[in-house]
Structure 1
């Protein structure tokens, strides 16, 4: 089976070599993210039995990084490099050097890499910089292997440092639970592309995934729901006496192990405990937490908003005692500065219907439910501040007044972040239209079911620095993988890559170095790297997308496009499969005559198919005009 998969992959990649839409500059390494400066020379540095790894003695952290580097070199070249404290006369060498005097504006994460035919010299002011420089070396080795120049590096001079301080990816493990091993693999893949924040969405309506020893029912009850397969929000609600058998959680020992694993890769983990909304799993475990006090099951993905009360009661002191216990254990586990407290999509109608909550508002002089949520968030901030943690919340925490020291993660467009920055708060931009990795990557007829679209090109061309604000308040940017429609680890990878390749470049590379045409030429080489790592990824950028509208006579007009440039699109209206002898799409919307059943379209490079065959029934396309 593995052999069959490998053969199919080889055939596919061989085909892609010929269909790659743009010829990359001769021998220019297809590094992602693009370095700040890359000057290429002539010749190559060859790793062989005479190559040594030079590390200054007496630094335990540097020694550990050297061991890690040697593991990578061993996998990529088959050579286990002898470690020395200084170079000797024989052979060539790879030298890692901490240099506090390095004049690099990237500070802790910048590096300089010099490759000659005889020496590789990687230096940085901090360990993080050396780690990121090694990721570049790994890519150079992988890219060289794909061009039949195995075990060698091109002669090159690179100066590199990040554009943004916060370069994050979020994984939602509440809607579907992902194993500890997969989380570690996901972190590994992030590190390869210089992401440095793993946002871990640990709690929501569909599951509580973190062990809290003082509140055992959170995982005994809240981590499990009835099993369902199908389309999210269409599931049948839990039935009487049905066993909640689907789910899982991370023990505190699991979490410590994952945190240590991430720290070795210079990734900070930010846990999210989503409150006061999105709390049904917690309420299922402890019903007193909601204003209604009802016994609810953990939601399996059936419709429940404004039916079941998934909101914590801000008028009940027991809620704050509960949160103090939760955050005491969370703060003790996670060494980073931040805890994400959610704050999004908090329904207010159960507060409005509660006499207790309404009396509390009158007593406190709180006029609106938005102000009541602000009161709640400010109380949570005080709890976390006592534990020496800073809060981050989704942009809804702006409603009713922002907590004094809160950082805002802006997902509903850019405006919430702009407003927070104007108020003097740090901002992480993560607008759903540019960074939500759970959305369609291509035409819905070709892609697994979800609800909206984010194309590779749209992700790449986004700028996380909006006009009109002080850029010093922009802490960074983040891609988010919500998992309502992502039930498996393989599909999580498919939705993450290659759009996270695009985001890594948006977050790391200078704006002037970001070039969509150039990035497209990196896709095929990077796909080979992803294949070698056994990462599932999407090729939707090569597929045809159909967009539609109606003309004044109510005739259907269909436009066809691909993300990748320089591909030809051929189509048919007679239910046959198109090829280069069919009608070539010329960019003008196609008028679909009455009675036509479907349009079929496919992208080609020359005579070679580039993307999947799109079969679009006209009835389905007409739905898109509504």
Structure 2
């Protein structure tokens, strides 16, 4: 945006100089996250088999990591010596460097020197070296690393990724790969969600039934949906290694032994990643209750109004169970944190329990929310006795929270939560559902949205803002049944978050150029990342006489393959290497492929033949649209009730903030006329969270219905110049909402629909 402004000559010169100082050539220095200071230098440091590593012995782990890296490229291990040679890599412990993860890197044609005070700093510098090495240079005789001077440190101490292994299970091998990817991009906290309603994934020696029974299930409704979707997308198939036959039943599941847990912890520690375990309670405990029914207030195990039956916080047997479990957890995990969860608790059984009534009376508790707080505070004291700090989802604020608990903020529709927590003195980890729930389907704007996320909420003083530890992205796996699908969901958008949390400076265009180069690094790690979007079409396309499919590829080295028979495109399918003429109704499936064989999104394009829609008369119309608001919860637009609660005029497809705030569910209809200035094929792009449908002339143009995270869908309609009936129906299920309409005509650039096009009576 800044580059497009009309600057004075002096200002333009200053801006240009700043860019040159900050942003080195992204092809030569494709670093993510970008260093705090990088000065490009002439020449290269050439690593060959005559190169040695010089270290005083303070960084044995990091020397091992560096040797493994160089061996993977050169095919041989570099010697470690105490003497500097003609081609040396020096690892230097520098006590003048203050930060735990801070490092300095000086690369010249004759020497490479990496300085840090700690092993963590040296390791972060090695990851920078990894990204400077040509990813396709494995088993070469020499490797050229561009010369540079780098001074670097993170802005945020907490740079996290979360993985839910309870809904769908992931192998030890995959978790290690996940840690490798985190390490490459300097993420340092791994939040391991180990238990939930759908599965208990960690061995607890005192309660063996937790894994004997709780780790396995017959296919549930989520599995069934994934299996059905796998017919269209093979990545949605359940990983077969987690399916077994037992007593005549097909079961899905798995768990980690304590030996495997220790193995993963050691693997993470070598990469300076802290693993934070989550054992979610008092809610989300169906798998545990299945094995030990005494845990509930009434021995029931099922679903209440909204969530599953929780364990009972009013029986000492419950606390003994919890303390036994967390005693083993505390002994296994060296992390200073344990995550209690404490979210989405169905408290109906508590309200009906005589035992809870007695506990509430004895402790002067006035509500079931305060009863949950009683449970959380008691568990926090137990955690503290084990030398651990408690983390809980932001529901722990309800009913009161101790100032020493760490709050993990996720509920976007409760924006006051992190502000109140930080003002209360609680440390806060930001993980709002929008944009940091990476189980939400990614779209072409997703990476930009993550990159522009600000971890500091508005309304905090500088002192209060210091209570924001950092942020993390969450991968909930109800609809992520395979390792390939998990890769696709979090990469490459994790790289955007990595730069937000490490560098914390806005340089999106430069970042995106570096991202394109870094795909080769992801290929080296065998990551099934999401390719950038193909463009030049919509989901639903129309033509009058004939149409043309002219795909725009964002990466020159992509190939695009297509099918006409409904099958999933593969590398063996016909190659689309130019415009394709459409002369009849057709369904075309497209997919892009990277040089490494990574398949991008599967696009299903429907082509329909239309005549141009005739305009209507619009005498006496006013500018804008009529907005009708409907109080209530509606899962689809068809279920919006008949009578509006409020009706106002608005200038565009928008909902005024004061009408949609508060996080409550609602329905909305934006009605009127749209006046198109010329006859043509109009493409409309409707972005919604949750669901929306666009109708023009009574015809459905874009269907983006149902509750879901922000996603854009598109469609076309043939319109004659003039006025046409217009309607957008929208439903919000609760939380933060998104609603935006854009257009293009006859293949032009996508842009917002002008206010002047809308009329209403």
* TM-score bucket of the superposed structures, by smaller chain: 0.7 to 0.9
Secondary structure of residue in 2 paired with 1:478: strand
> How far has the Cα of 1:126 moved from its partner?
0.8
SS of corresponding position for 1:108? coil
Q: What is the distance in 2 between the residues matched to 1:543 and 1:477?
A: 32
Shift of 1:497: 0.5
Q: Hey, what's the Cα distance between the residues in 2 that align with 1:145 and 1:620?
A: 49
CA distance in 1, matches of 2:348, 2:491: 39
Instruction: Specify which structure has the higher proportion of strand.
Output: 2
Identify the residue that residue 84 of structure 2 maps to in structure 1. 87
Shift of 1:426: 0.3
Instruction: Tell me, yes or no, if structure 1 residue 422 matches structure 2 residue 428.
Output: no
| The one of 269, 273, 276 aligned to 2:275 | 269
SS in 2 for 1:230: helix
Structure 1: runs of 5 or more not aligned: 1-22, 236-240, 297-303, 444-453, 549-560, 567-576, 584-595, 604-609
- For normalisation by structure 2, the TM-score amounts to 0.65
Flag the structure with higher helix content: 1
**Which secondary structure does the structure 1 equivalent of 2:513 belong to?**
helix
Task: State which of 699, 703, 706 in structure 2 corresponds to 1:622.
Answer: 703
Q: How does 1:232-271 map to 2 (within 5 A)?
A: 243=249, 245-271=251-277
In terms of mean alpha carbon deviation, does 246-255 or 114-123 score higher? 246-255
- Give the 5 Å matches for 1:361-380: 361-380=360-379
Deviations 1:81-119 (A, max 9, x none): 22110213xx211100111123x5xx1101000000000
1:488 corresponds in structure 2 to 482
**Of 352-361 and 466-475, the range deviating more from structure 2:** 352-361
What is the aligned partner in structure 1 of residue 560 from structure 2? none
For 2:154 and 2:195, the matched residues in 1 are separated by 31
Q: 1:65 aligns with which of 62, 66, 71?
A: 62
For residues 362 and 563 of structure 1, the distance between their equivalents in structure 2, rounded to whole angstroms, comes to 66
Highest RCO, 1 vs 2 (Cα 8 Å, sep ≥ 6): 1
1:153 equivalent in alignment to 2:145: yes
Instruction: Answer whether contact 2:278 2:339 (CA < 8 A) is retained.
Output: yes
- Aligned 1:73-222 pairs, distance under 5 A: 73-88=70-85, 91-102=86-97, 107-142=99-134, 145=137, 151-222=143-214
- SS of 2:420's equivalent? helix
- Equivalent residue for 2:664? none
* Residues 589, 602 of structure 2: 8 Å contact kept: no
Question: Residue in 2 aligned with 1:340?
Answer: 339
SS of aligned partner of 1:420? helix
- 1:564 CA displacement: 7.3
**Structure 1 position 45, deviation (Å):** 0.8
Gaps of 5+ in 2: 1-22, 230-246, 541-550, 557-574, 593-599, 608-698, 706-728, 731-761
| 1:494 Cα deviation from its structure 2 partner | 1.2
| Contact 1:409–1:430 (CA under 8 A) maintained in structure 2 | yes
Offset at residue 254 of structure 1 (A): 0.8
Corresponding residue for residue 449 of structure 2: 458
Instruction: Confirm or deny: 8 A CA contact 1:410 1:431 kept in the other structure.
Output: yes
Cα distance in 1 for partners of 2:577, 2:92 equals 56
Distance in 1, matches of 2:162 and 2:87, equals 41
3-state SS of 2:360 partner: helix
| Cα deviation code 1:140-194 (max 9, x no counterpart) | 0135849x99601111000010011011100100001111111111111111111
Could you give the per-residue CA deviations for residues 527-585 of structure 1, whole angstroms, max 9, x where no partner exists? 1111122111101445579699xxxxxxxxxxxx999799xxxxxxxxxx9998699xx
- Asked if structure 1 preserves the Cα contact closer than 8 Å seen for 2:165 and 2:192, the reply is yes
Q: State the SS of the aligned residue for 2:703.
A: helix
> Could you say what the CA RMSD is over the residues aligned between the two structures, in angstroms?
3.7
CA distance in 2, matches of 1:233, 1:48: 49
Tell me what 2:299 maps to.
Answer: 293
State the structure with more CA Rg.
2
**Structure 1 residues 580, 25: closer, same or farther in 2, change over 3 A?**
farther
1:38 equivalent in structure 2: 38
The 1:563–1:343 alpha-carbon spacing in structure 2 relative to 1, beyond 3 Å, is farther
